[in-house]
Amino acid sequence: MKKASSIKAGLLGSVALLAFPSVAQEVGQVPPPADEDTLVAEKVVVIGSYLQGVGDSGALPVTVIGRDELDASGGLSTGELLANLPSIGDIEFTDNNTGTNGARGDVTGINLRGLGSGRSLVLVNGRRIVGHPQSESVDSVPVTFTNVNSIPANLIQRVEVLRDGASALYGSDAIAGVVNLSLYEDYDGTYASLRYGESTETSLTELSASLRHGFKFASGKTHMTIAGSYYERGDVSSTELPEWYSTLDRRDLLPADWLGDTQFDNTSTIGPYGRFQSGMLNGDGTFTGVRVRQGGANLTSSSGVFHLQPDAFPGSVASLGNGISIDDGSQDRELRYNFYADETVIPKVNRTNLALTFTHDLDSGFQVFGEGMYYGSESDTQRAPGPFDASLALIIVPASNYYNPFGAVGSPNRVAGIDAPAEGLDLVIQGYRPLELGPRKIKVNQDLYRLLGGVRGEFGGWDVESALGWSEADARDEEFNRQSKTLLQDQISLSTPDAFNPFGGPDANPESVLSKIRISSVRVAESSMVTWDAKASRPDLFSLPGGDVGAAIGVDFRHEKIFDDSDPRLDGTMTFTNGAIPDESDLVGVSATRDFGGDRDTSAVFAELNVPLIGEANRFPLVHALDLQLAARFENASDYGDSLKPKVAAHWFIVPSLSVRAAYGEGFRAPNLVQINQGTITRRNQGDADPYREDVTGTPNDIGDTYRTSTRFGNPDLEAEESESTVLGIVFDPDDTVLDGLRVSVDYFKVETTNAITVIGVDRLLDDDFARLTAGQAGNPNVIRGAATPTDIAAFDAYNLANPGTQRAPVGEVLNVIDGYVNLDGREVSGYDMSVSYETRETAVGNFRFGVNATKLDTFEETRDGATFDELRRNGNPEWRGSASVTWSMGGWQSGWQVRYVSDVEDTSATNDTTGDLWQVDDWYSINGYVSYEFDQGIGPLGGTGIKLGVRNLANELPPRADESPGYLSGLYPIEGRVIYGEISKSF
């Protein structure tokens, strides 16, 4: 939201020093000269202040990444570029997500400091842009985020990262920091590029084409830049990867001290050989299991449970024909299903971006400006065929089913000699996966539009600017090869050969049957934002002995809106009514999710002062200069209330080359529109006993043997999450000495959040209800009970008679548990950012630039329900992230190499049975590099032509192994392996 300001070409280098985004340096450095043939004038927008010169003086912990650095990184999406920054935590949302009701497709969310994508503010040209229309749940709480892939990497002129909380300047979400993506504005000339790359290890291919054209007209008063890009990537299947990454049973691939550990067998018990329970469906929706015998031999367990397997497997007790037998024992591991074999690990993506920037200088001295942007993408991926799981689809195979082995006497497939009643037994499908349905295919189409127009200039000694903006995003997510519960129940209830057959193993059902239960589900979401702002600043509001006091003031307004339209089979329009337990969801494997929408109006006022306490006129030894930055912002929203957040920062120059900086600020994150307005989500889970009634009645519902209903929906009473952030750093930047070109900085940071939004959990709500009731209080209001029936009252009377010391007042059965969103949790993260860079003077063998950037986490603690958990070096929170680079240029030649490093972590999903140690995920590094040559503009047709050869992950370092479905922590490492690319470009 800071005004773009023109500065001299000599200050242009304060934006960046190194040639890779992960080693991009802080502002304040001397850059290589700009190419005068292609750049009319660079405009630097350094976030962290509305006052020119504050952010780029080194007073704030800001990292700036220039266009050369972005080009040299080798990445083709904005998400790939930003993932290289050490201050970026694990990527929470990626395009390999295939889970239902999440954000799928061409998406990447930025997670500064590992605090969560919802706590990192993303700006485009200094202003907000609409968030992704679909949310993603993290720890059962929906998170909204900005999809940075919607901002084209090759149309970005500069990336600025403020590594400090900034709610006092930018408002909600800026808890962990701010990322500003600055698009080309004053480009002059034409630049076109074509790039192709492919993996040396898989079938991955990449194709990218881009065009930029900037020109002036109207006697030089008007400037326009038009740009476009197209990106295409092929998909990669898990079967193309080494065994560890393509199988879910990794027991035989483990080191000696873990060998055979069943924690690393993540295959599914739900496969083509089904698991069932025989018995009778009761009128109350419960199911009573019944043992089945054949000639005195058990075909099922005492509760009627059995599974199918090939005849040759041990334990087979009765053949059903076609090589399939019944087994009454536990399911052999060899029958488990490797659902990852059907996964696409890198989706197919097509992406188109268009951008336009416009400026026109008025005779009055003011400038009119405008921006337009379009993003469109299509993503295709797939996952395993859908399972039938009793927890989400209680499908009953009636005794009348043609293939029921325990069907009525006379049924063609009833097993001979069984003691099942003559009318037969119903069967509950506990787990079954019809592979013949084929993989579930997912297609996601996304669009984003942005328009903005404004005016800037000088009025009465103030730099003023105002703009009105609109942006809108939509996503259409369609998943094919799903199953309708209603259609499945109809087909499985037939007594003819065209009935659905879950008893035949793989490929038991022909397409003529499958087509009668197969459907696709569609989810459509849309988000929009309208913004207006007006601000004014001046560097000389009044003077102090240390210098002029700068001031900035402003107001802004935004209207946000979101709408999420679930498939009719999920939103309650088409419900499951012909089964044992009616359900609002008619889609197998997915809980009901109601449509919802919501909007919010937010108004804000803000002010900032830059106060030079010590300057040229009053400096003294060891205090060359001392400046203060004071800022505050008041924000009022139409739903959750208001927030007033201050910030104070100081920058103390001990000597011109050595300075200390410090900052303290308070921040907040508003509850997002999903958390406030989300439609009802219904869950039915088994195993949640009612501790108050289970010892009294012993009914299946009370002891947790049935599927207890719980609901979750938006909470309009949520409050904003609060935070405090602290930064303390030192910067060494010698000038005009033998060390000219060297820059060293070290910053300590600490961020504490409170009042974070979470869910309590059904089991904890029932436990709290028990504690209240046993204390003679009213029960938990979120545990909804029916009235106590005469049978209930009689059971409580009997219990109280038998337990005189623990009397319990009669209450009715639990009908529903509302597990809504509440303000409860907190988090504390602290550590150090370190940066060293050096650029040589001109030498006989060219120019060299060296750099090292690193972030060390010192603390990562989460508070949940009053308890504190240490998450440092756990899962996605490595202690160290870093990168080092060297670049060289001489004449038309240029080359750059980078090493990216992530330290080891512990995977909490696997614990060694002998030592008790968690699984260690090794450290990881990746080497990227390129060599390029550009022909001089004056040599004829080849003039301005550039050729580049590059490689990502030169050593083909695959992600370190972890106990996760994909075999690695996908938020920390890429899976693509070595990628070699070539690029040809032309500038005019």
Rounded mean pLDDT of the chain?
A: 89
Q: Looking at residues 177-206, what average pLDDT do you find?
A: 92
CA distance 59 to 27: 9
- Distance separating alpha carbons of residues 537 and 589, to the nearest angstrom: 56
Residue 55 has pLDDT above 60, yes or no: no
User: Is residue 176 assigned to a domain?
Assistant: no
In-domain check, residue 326: yes
In a domain, 27, yes or no: no
Helix/strand/coil (H/E/C) assignment for every residue in 251-313: HHHCCCCCCCCHHHECCECCCCCCEEEEEEECCCCCEEECCCEECCEECCCCCCEEEEEECCC
Q: Which two tokens stand for residue 432?
A: 């079954």
Structural domain contains residue 302: yes
d(CA 259, CA 696): 46
Assess whether pLDDT exceeds 50 at residue 15: no
Q: List phi, psi (to 5°) of 901.
A: -135, 140
Place 392 in a pLDDT band, splitting at 50, 70 and 90.
low
Average pLDDT rounded to a whole number, residues 795-815: 95
When pLDDT is cut at 50, 70 and 90, the band that residue 329 belongs to is: confident
| Number of domain units in the chain | 1
Which of these ranges, 112-116, 364-368, 468-472, has the smallest mean pLDDT?
A: 112-116
Task: Tell me if 615 is assigned to some domain.
Answer: no
Give the whole-angstrom CA distance, residue 580 versus residue 493.
Answer: 12
443 within a domain of the structure (yes/no): no
Find the mean pLDDT for residues 172-187: 89
Q: How far apart are CA 177 and CA 82, in angstroms?
A: 14
Cα(213)–Cα(38) distance, rounded to whole angstroms? 10
Q: Would you say residue 328 lies in a domain?
A: yes
Exposed/middle/buried for residue 781 (C-beta within 10 Å: 0-12, 13-18, 19+):
exposed
Mean local confidence (pLDDT), 639-654: 95
d(CA 169, CA 45): 14
Domain with 274 in it? 241-345+386-436+484-519
Give 56's pLDDT tier (boundaries 50, 70, 90): low
In a domain, 332, yes or no: yes
pLDDT of residue 66: 74
Average pLDDT rounded to a whole number, residues 79-100: 83
Q: Is the pTM of this model over 0.75?
A: yes
Q: What is residue 831's three-state secondary structure? A: strand
pLDDT tens string 528-576: 999 999 999 999 999 999 999 999 999 999 999 999 999 999 998 999 9
CB 636 within 8 A of CB 646: no
Categorize the per-residue pLDDT at 839 as very low, low, confident or very high, splitting at 50, 70 and 90.
confident
